[in-house]
Amino acid sequence: MKAVRKFFNRYLSPQKKKVKYLRELMGFTPANLSVYLLAFKHSSKSADAHTSNERLEFLGDAVLDTVISEYLFMTYPIRGEGFLTEMRSKIVNRKRLGEIGHQLKLERFLDYHKGFVTLNSTILGNALEALIGAIYLDAGFHKAKIFIITKILSPYINLDDLQNLDINYKSRLFEWSQRFEKELTFEVLEEKNTNKVRIFVVGAFIDGELMGSGEARNKKDAEKEASREVYQKLNVEASMEW
């Protein structure tokens, strides 16, 4: 450890503040500083994806999804796939990750072209995912998992509040379809009777293609369920942030 610190002090003195910040944030001294510097480099300051944080963001997103999925799986042992998927979507949405990135003061060392882009929650959320990717590459999955749980989930995510957070999937899906000039329609696929209860099965179509379905005792609620399925299937939350 002393040898590592000596190396940083001697050869990377201009980066000492970043190393100190990372050590305080992550709880360990980075072994490969370059991968963390890359995690903070926005595409506006880079010629291609190889020299920006986009690839690390991709990796960090996968690690974050894995850790949160396991965390929710263990926290809610009797809840179904739909509930777990919805809870994960509420946690990893870009706005929330951007707010957490701001709380962690990621903007202090974020390298972006101030003349071309405005710092926002999307950029900070992407940087947070890139940082997770950097931790995974530099220190392994276990360290990345500890970081996610202790620095993101525990201090900033209240699962009880998230359970009560109602997402209007149908409204958001319509907003998405208008932005990307897609035609969103709903159609009753089937009406069935279960134990003398009438059930509607409704399909959600994008440009005429069936993308999801839902069922409920009335058409309105069935449309909501179909919208939720399509919303999660197409990852609408992520596409609306660009």
**SS3 of residue 9 by DSSP:** helix
Q: HSE, CB side, 13 Å, CA atoms: give it for residue 181.
A: 0
Please count the other Cβ atoms lying within 10 Å of the Cβ belonging to residue 112.
21
Angle at 219 between CA 214 and CA 224, to 5 degrees: 50
Encode 190-225: b = buried (16+ Cβ within 10 Å), e = exposed: eeeeeeeeeebbbbbbbeeeebbbbbbeeeeebbbb
Q: Could you please report the per-residue DSSP string of 150-203? A: IIIIHHH--HHHHHT----HHHHHHHHHHHTT--EEEEEEEEEEETTEEEEEEE
Angle at 148 between CA 142 and CA 154, to 5 degrees: 125
Dist CA 58 CA 65 (whole Å): 11
CA nearest 197: which of 226, 220, 224, 218? 218
As annotated, the active-site residues are: 61, 129
Q: Which two tokens stand for residue 53?
A: 């944080």
Which neighbouring-strand residues pair with 233? none
